[in-house]
Structure 1
Amino acid sequence: MNTPDSHFDNLAEHFADKIYNSPKGQIRLALLQLDLAGLQQREPLQILDAGGGQGHISRWFAEKQHQISLCDTSKPMLEKARQLNEIAGLTNKIQLHHCDIDTFCQSNLDRFDLILCHAVLEWAEKPDLLVNQLIDQLKPGGHLSLMFYNRHSLILRNALRGNLRKVKRGDWSGDGNSLTPHQSLDPEEVYGWLQQNSMQILEKSGIRCFYDYLPLKVKQTYDFEDILELEQNHYRQQPYIHMARYIHVIATRL
């Protein structure tokens, strides 16, 4: 198995609070939607949301009549997705699959116009193989939206906090009971995996270039809209992209 099995089963509500109901989660969602707006506005696509959790991005696409297959290993996450899909009236647009990405890819006979894989790669035992699997599920000319946990940001954040010994050890693993990923990823390595599989990178962006570094007093002083504007004004510029907590890449299969 190349993706975590039940890690999120007991963290579903915590995940919703920390990711979707928090400023950092709202920044993440806003920037992803900004990046993906062009694809969302296209004629209906066949989309795979790999490790899609509660389906926030899936519903956003489904509102524009796209057809989505969402797979995830966590039953509580999928149950929450089912409830939210029903409330939104989008049940017929989003098929839920309780399985890991490996299993889905092995059993699926169709190919997709777009694959979404956001904050999953860093939990995989062999992230390079997961990238290969996802690309195999794409139609020629199809797009992959890949967001991953950036090692550069982790090093910088720990250095700023004075965790110099941790930086020296290079020990970034979570404790198994939190939302801290198992591993961080070197962006250049991920870009290499894509290019080795005949993928052309169209866009790179940084998801939360500044927010995670801001002192609490600053976060409390400024309106959320001001901080979001700061992120939007810099998230596609170097060097800020590679300072961000997560990096989002959109690539197309040649």
Structure 2
Amino acid sequence: MPTSPATPTAEQLPARTAAVWAALDPLVGAGSALRILDVGGGSGMFAVPLARLGHEVTVVDPSADALATLRRRADTAGVEARVRGVQGDGDLLHEVLPVTGDDDSGYDLALCHSVLEVVDDPAVTLREIARALRPGGQVSIATANRAGAVLARAVAGHPVEALAMLEDRDPAPGRAVPARRRFSPQALLALVEGADLRPGTWRGVSVVADLLESSSGADPQAVRALEVALAEVSPYRDVAAGVHVLATRP
């Protein structure tokens, strides 16, 4: 079971991401500067804290507005020299990042958080990310969990939408914007393996944090500790809002 994150920045970030930071901590808190690729992380939620730890972070995002937010956050944090924003799509990384993991330009770590739900082809996106990693490099993948979404809609009083999600149907067909994908842990692991990546243990993201943070009396440190404790334990992780896995390029 992972311990609570040791990196100082992790303690200042939302408790719902505590399990992700706990998984990343042995990599990003070890003291060595890493070359990190953040796909779809334009607003800098992870990029800026990682740059504050001394890492060099390249963020690829299709949104110019998100990249502008990234630049402002990096400037405010004093890490603008270690953060680079590139406008582009995750499934077309080779067009904006002419690097491969087979040379010295490969990345040590890549982040793919809340991206596979919205890209045109999740399998292509993961293959593009794998291509950019050096051998032995790792990718942190976080997606929405179907089981958590089903329960959330049911508890919110929307049983028809919950049933549609359970059956992998669009809960609101006919709208202009397609529904975001939700993944079961098994489907996510199969996708990772299909990109020739070796997945580690999957964990739940935000098992109880969203519920407890709405309570004004909840101690943030206690919420983080509980999140980390539940992240790899079934049945709690099975109904988390998200699924996270670290995968390695062989």
Tell me the TM-score range normalised by the shorter chain. 0.7 to 0.9
Counterpart of 1:193 (choices 188, 191, 200) is: 191
Further displaced range: 166-175 or 61-70: 166-175
Counterpart of 1:48 (choices 37, 51, 54) is: 37
In the TM superposition, 1:8-19 aligns within 5 A as none
More helix by share: 1
Who is 1:211 aligned against? 209
What SS does the aligned partner of 2:232 have? coil
Further displaced range: 104-113 or 44-53: 104-113
Who is 1:139 aligned against? 134
Counterpart of 2:26 (choices 30, 38, 41) is: 38
Identity over the aligned pairs, expressed in percent?
25
Residues 135-179 of structure 1, C-alpha deviations (whole Å, 9 max, x = no match): 1221111101000011111112223334222233333469668xx
Q: Find the aligned partners of 1:66 and 1:211 in 2 and give their Cα distance.
A: 28
Counterpart of 2:84 (choices 91, 95, 112) is: 95
In the TM superposition, 1:14-93 aligns within 5 A as 26-42=14-30, 43-93=32-82
Contact 2:35-2:109 at 8 Å conserved across structures: yes
Give the superposition deviation at 1:215.
10
Who is 1:7 aligned against? none
Contact 2:92-2:125 at 8 Å conserved across structures: no
Q: Find the aligned partners of 2:213 and 2:78 in 1 and give their Cα distance.
A: 40
Counterpart of 2:111 (choices 116, 131, 149) is: 116
Quick one: structure 1 residues 62 and 220, their matched pair in 2 at CA, closer, same or farther if it must change by over 3 Å? closer
Contact 1:172-1:183 at 8 Å conserved across structures: no
Who is 2:234 aligned against? 238
What SS does the aligned partner of 2:198 have? strand
Counterpart of 1:106 (choices 95, 105, 123) is: 95
Q: Find the aligned partners of 1:46 and 1:176 in 2 and give their Cα distance.
A: 38
Contact 2:39-2:110 at 8 Å conserved across structures: yes
Contact 1:120-1:148 at 8 Å conserved across structures: yes
Contact 1:172-1:184 at 8 Å conserved across structures: no
Quick one: structure 1 residues 86 and 234, their matched pair in 2 at CA, closer, same or farther if it must change by over 3 Å? same
Give the superposition deviation at 1:79.
1.0
Report the number of matched residues. Answer: 226
**2:216 matched to 1:228?**
no
Structure 1: gaps (5+ residues)? 1-24
Structure 2: gaps (5+ residues)? 1-12, 100-105
Give the superposition deviation at 1:213.
5.4
Further displaced range: 138-147 or 221-230: 221-230
Counterpart of 2:181 (choices 169, 180, 183) is: 183
Quick one: structure 1 residues 238 and 103, their matched pair in 2 at CA, closer, same or farther if it must change by over 3 Å? same
Who is 1:3 aligned against? none
Counterpart of 2:125 (choices 111, 126, 130) is: 130
Counterpart of 1:202 (choices 197, 200, 203) is: 200
Contact 2:202-2:244 at 8 Å conserved across structures: yes
Q: Find the aligned partners of 1:172 and 1:140 in 2 and give their Cα distance.
A: 40
Q: Find the aligned partners of 2:236 and 2:146 in 1 and give their Cα distance.
A: 14
RMSD: 2.5
Give the superposition deviation at 1:191.
0.3
Q: Find the aligned partners of 1:173 and 1:39 in 2 and give their Cα distance.
A: 40
Q: Find the aligned partners of 1:51 and 1:193 in 2 and give their Cα distance.
A: 18
Residues 98-128 of structure 1, C-alpha deviations (whole Å, 9 max, x = no match): 2222343334222211110111110112212
One-letter amino acid of the structure 1 residue matched with residue 136 of structure 2: G
One-letter amino acid of the structure 2 residue matched with residue 70 of structure 1: V
